Amino acid sequence: MSTTMDISSENEPSPNHEKQSKLFFLSNVRYFIDKHHEQHAKKVIHSIKVGTALVLVSLIYLLDPLFEQVGENAMWAIMTVVVVYDFYAGATLSKGLLRGIGTISGGGLGCLAAILSEDFGKTGNTIVVGTSVFIFGALATYCRMIPSIKKKYDYGFLIFILTFSLVAVSGLRADKISELARERLTTIGMGFAICIITSFLIFPMWAGEELHHSTSSKFNKLACCIEECMEAYFSDSEKEGRQSINMSSCKSILHSKSSDESLANFARWEPWHGSFGFYYPWEKYLQIGELLRELASIILLQQVIKEKFNNVGISLGLTMHELGESIMKMRRGQEKVLMLPGLQSIELELSILSTSELQAIENVEALPIANFLFLLMEIVDKVKVIAKEVEELGQVAGFQSK
């Protein structure tokens, strides 16, 4: 037994829907073009800033008064600029501080190991230095493999191992070691200061702003994917052929986890800038990003959508656009939108459809439709959870009410 339904009137796209789809398409094209030019301009600015920092740090070599103070150790200032300077201001600050902490701690322990080894004679000196290098090198390397430490402090431990090993095995006397450590810390501090000045004062690139904009843009990407899935049902399979659905946006969101975590880590180091305070809830962005990746994975599972559920897709797309705009403008949306009573009614309608229509269709025909209904209900549930997270972000971060 099979059931046929007359949905000819539902298959015709409304003028408003076509106009809305064109506007969404044009806005996305414009966004990607502007984003490309913006990224290119940022790369040019970053290159100029690095060149400026290298010129300034080279003055330590070129100007005799400065060179007399630090001597040949001036090269450590240049090395500091090269290895510390990063695209984002937060990354530059974190790497500079970790380099300083690693240098001080590694140099201090290296001096201590070198001083203690002098009291044990030539043979004892070798044993003490070798043992200390093994113990501290092994412990620091093990700490680097701990996930929580590797994400935030890996560079500091790397500098610690390097500095400790160089100082401990240098074989210099204690007075020369202290003088060498002072000169190198001075030059490293000069290089770090130049990095901070040029990074923070000359067109700063904030990791927090990048995470903020990238998170809000993901809502528009997923909204467009949902709308494309729904629009695919309007294509006449006999005349036009089935429309292809571009899932590249969903795939890019699925691979954004490491980028989001890096940006959030750098953002925590950044000072107060714009609307972002010292204790801005960056972890909320990571939670929302994880939920968006789950939603993207669900959308990728469903390639074919039925015509009669077009209104569901439009509602989901508009909701995702509204949530993305809420984060982008740092404004809390309408309460009736964030509470999503419309999605609750859609969820109820889908549950009714799953019990009424599928009973009238043979088992073989009902299987793909049941699978589609299940996935669509999963999308609705995930959008509701994301909406609640955005509402909590607005409360914690102090978004203004519309």
Give the pairing of strands 331-332 and 400-401.
parallel
* pLDDT for position 142: 94
- For 46, the token pair is 């970053």
Q: Is 376 a residue whose pLDDT tops 70?
A: yes
Q: How confident is the model at residue 236 (pLDDT cuts 50, 70, 90)?
A: very low
* 42-71 pLDDT, tens digit each: 889 999 999 999 998 888 777 777 777 666
- How far, in Å, are 29, 105, 108, 177, 221 from residue 100 at the CA level? 45, 9, 12, 17, 41
Tell me which range, 14-18, 209-213, 221-225, 341-345, is most confidently predicted by mean pLDDT. 209-213
In CATH terms, 206-235+244-401 corresponds, of 1.10.3720.10, 1.20.140.150, 1.20.58.220, 1.10.10.1800, to 1.20.58.220
For the chain, give every domain's residue range.
45-201, 206-235+244-401
Share of the chain above pLDDT 90, in %: 16
Residue of higher predicted confidence among 21 and 293 = 293
Task: Please state the pTM of the whole predicted model.
Answer: 0.70
Q: Which residues pair with 116 in a beta bridge?
A: none
Q: Which residues, in sequence order, are CB contacts of 50 under 8 Å at separation 6+? A: 81, 85
* 78-112 pLDDT, tens digit each: 888 998 999 999 999 999 999 889 988 888 888 88
